[in-house]
Amino acid sequence: MSSRAVVSSLNEEAASILGNDPDAVTRRLVSDLGTPKPALFWLDLTASAAVGWMAFAIAVAAQGFSSKMIAASAIAALAIYRGLCFTHEITHLRRMSVPGFETAWNLLFGVPFLLPSFTYVGVHQDHHSLSTYGTKQDPEYLPFGDSHRMMVTFLIQNPVVLPLLIILRFLVLAPVALLWPRFHHWLAVHASSFALNPMYRRTVSASTMQKLRRWETTSLAAWALLFVLIYRGVLPFRLLLVWYVVSGAISLLNTLRVLGAHEYRTDGQPRNRQAQVSDSIDTPGGPWTELWAPVGLRYHALHHYFPGIPYHNLGIAYRRVIQGLPADAVFPKSTSPSLWRSLKKLYLVGKAACGSRRLTWRSSRER
């Protein structure tokens, strides 16, 4: 039986059971896709690490800014970026569904790139929350749709500044914070989240603070050893340059992906699930789309409706939903043909909005 026939059968069965409720039918279509496959998670993570760090080593060993160095750095950036994006999956995984995965991820990617999992786990949930999405307490939302200048500034400065900011946070401020509890709490609230919204303030608990101390200490120890090896000539100083280049390339890829993930037009009020989907964008694209939106991130609108579906099932879920729902349903309208089309639309909408009105971004409790 073909995929379309299977979807049609599922849709007819769901409709007969659930009536004409499109939400209920949609949930029925993907009800069997919520279980992660641990073996696939581990295989994907280790393959990304192996390719990424091998290419990184080749880039470090290459002479000057040769074509070999550039090619190896590009491959390293793409593979390591894929590995880093698994922090998004870690955020949504049920506890112990893939045992040891978060620790392995931190050692392979989080510590080397100074982005331990606590910078995203416990933060990203506020981007999905019905009470905070699109508000000042959304860590991953800014009104780019109302300001093309904001969009361009973010796109230009992020790849250059972000690597420097994480060095400052984890290698300069962290040692002070570990010895000064009051400052450590301030740092946890104000500067320990991988968030594009500078107004975001995270809520921290005792367990969160314990997690911060554990991975900050691990990162400091690993980087202290790295600096000692560089100082003694065991490793070349060039390694730090390649790290900055690869970090900047990863930041650029992620910045483009983030800008293509939403329409970014908000009145500061919380939104329900349907409104989140309408504001979000799926970009199924072709094979190359997996390079800039890996680990299921190309299906961003669908993910906002079904955040519990693991990345390896999102493509299946998307095809079922698109084939099983009418063309005027919300999901087909949330699909973009390409990242370029989404960025162009965001820029033009923001440019038009700049001259017509200024957004007042207030939380619901300020109204």
Torsion of CA 316, 321, 327, 329, to 10 degrees: -140
What pLDDT is stored for residue 268 in this prediction? 79
pLDDT for 235 equals 95
- pLDDT confidence of residue 366: 38
pLDDT value at position 33?
93
Amino acid occupying residue 343:
L
Q: So what's the pLDDT on residue 204?
A: 93
Position 17 scores a pLDDT of 36
Tell me the mean pLDDT per 10 residues along the chain, length 367: 48 43 77 94 98 98 90 98 97 91 98 97 93 92 88 91 96 97 96 93 93 97 97 96 97 96 87 89 92 96 93 95 76 86 87 54 38
CB neighbour list of residue 360: distance below 8 Å, 6 or more residues apart: 268
Please count the helices (runs of H) and the strands (runs of E) in the chain.
18, 0
Note every long-range contact of 305-309, with CB atoms under 8 Å and residues 24 or more positions apart, other chains counting.
305/26, 305/273, 305/276, 305/277, 305/331, 306/30, 306/34, 307/92, 307/128, 308/34, 308/92, 309/30, 309/33, 309/34
| Cβ(272)–Cβ(130) below 8 Å | yes
Q: Please give the pLDDT value at position 266.
A: 81
**Alpha-carbon Rg of the chain, whole angstroms?**
22
